[in-house]
Structure 1
Amino acid sequence: MKPAVLMVDVDGVVIRHPDPSGWSARIEEELGVPRLALQARFFKTCWDDVVHGRAALRDRLAPVLAEIAPHVSCDQLISYWFEGDAHLDAALLTQLAEVRGAGVSLHLATVQEHERASYLWNRLRLRDLFDDMHYAAQLGVSKPSQDFYAAVEQRVALPASAIAFIDDTERNVEAARARGWRAALWTPGATLSSLISELTG
């Protein structure tokens, strides 16, 4: 049975960074921002509030940068981050376009804060390829919480049985299945056709 909508994760699925260390691998060399300090002072301390929409990205990032890299502005860091983490998987997007052409609505279901969500949707023009996006800061909750999947169902006004989902994190896939979604784990080299039985069964 064909699902009404296919939910697709972003990072690790639609976007795949060629460096396993990610977008910040060379940030100290290229921007003079100490990577470990950024991780400890911003991502470990502030990210939960930012990604769940309880705090604005710049409000939490600016004071951290003022301490660890005062020569770098929020604009510089955010541009470096967003532009460096924008490696779209063209092969997957082609496969997804075929699914959309067959009448299945395509949505993004992702853990993002507001600014990067806007960047993905507008600057990378994922809005041209997908019908909607559901993200953590918008919903106030993130995968793998059951509340995330419930909130997405409410937004699309569809039962769990009508939703298919691909994600590169096993616990997110398992949580979606527990909710009643038809979910498949996305792995390097995977194709939609190889997962079709999991997504349509």
Structure 2
Amino acid sequence: MNPDTHLLLLDVDGVLIELPDFFCSRFPSAPVRAFFADGFQSASTGKSSVLEHLPKLMAEVGREGSPEEFYREWLDYENRPDKDMVAAAAELKAAGWRIYLATNQEELRVQHLMSESGLSAVTDGHFASYSVGYRKPSQEYYGAVTQALGVSPEQIIFWDDSVENVDAARAAGWSSHLFTNVADFRRVMGLQRS
């Protein structure tokens, strides 16, 4: 694959970040589901700050303290970069690829991912849903990102661990791939085995 004509967009959770379990899996499922269906939807499309929605969740799951402390604990718990995948991305970046995050995410987690998880070292930036204003798998998301990049859709190489997101990206004209493991990613992207 020619790095002069292609851009690489990578999902975060399940691709660059390993999540064998989620921070919220220790809490009752009903308030967690409600948070992700409402507050997180708002924060991840840039309409609000996630901190505005955490007090309600904290009350429902019996957590005390400030929203900031709670969220810091959450972010630190899920700070698990996949070292092999990050190394593969670093190889591609060194070879001249432009790499961006393509993730359904709110602003504070993206800041944490870029600085604390070290993803800024292997990317050129991000197209997180909070900054795009739309979430995957909406066609508005893929259209807005394509327009922002100023390229034809087929120049965008996209990897995600969600079949729904991959199919939607393919429908938008992106060259999209389902992420299953680092070895398959390296093979498709033309990287030598590490």
TM-score, normalised to structure 2, is 0.87
Query: Are 1:6 and 2:8 counterparts?
Result: yes
Query: Are 1:175 and 2:163 counterparts?
Result: no
Deviation at 1:37, TM superposition (A): 4.9
Deviation at 1:175, TM superposition (A): 1.0
Alignment partner, residue 185 of structure 2: 192
- Pick from 4, 17, 20 the counterpart of residue 18 of structure 1: 20
| Correspondence 1:77-92 to 2 at 5 A | 77-92=70-85
- Alpha-carbon distance in 2 for matches of 1:126, 1:52: 21
Which 5+ residue runs of structure 1 have no aligned equivalent? 27-33
Alignment partner, residue 146 of structure 2: 153
CA contact (8 A) 2:146 2:153 kept: yes
CA contact (8 A) 1:65 1:73 kept: no
Aligned-partner SS, 1:192: helix
CA contact (8 A) 2:11 2:161 kept: yes
Which 5+ residue runs of structure 2 have no aligned equivalent? none
Deviation at 1:64, TM superposition (A): 3.5
Aligned-partner SS, 1:103: coil
CA contact (8 A) 2:84 2:182 kept: no
Alignment partner, residue 35 of structure 1: 28
Question: Paired residues, what number?
Answer: 188
Deviation at 1:54, TM superposition (A): 1.3
Aligned-partner SS, 2:57: helix
Letter in 2 for 1:192: F
> RMSD between aligned alpha carbons?
1.9
TM-score, normalised to structure 1, is 0.85
Alignment partner, residue 30 of structure 1: none
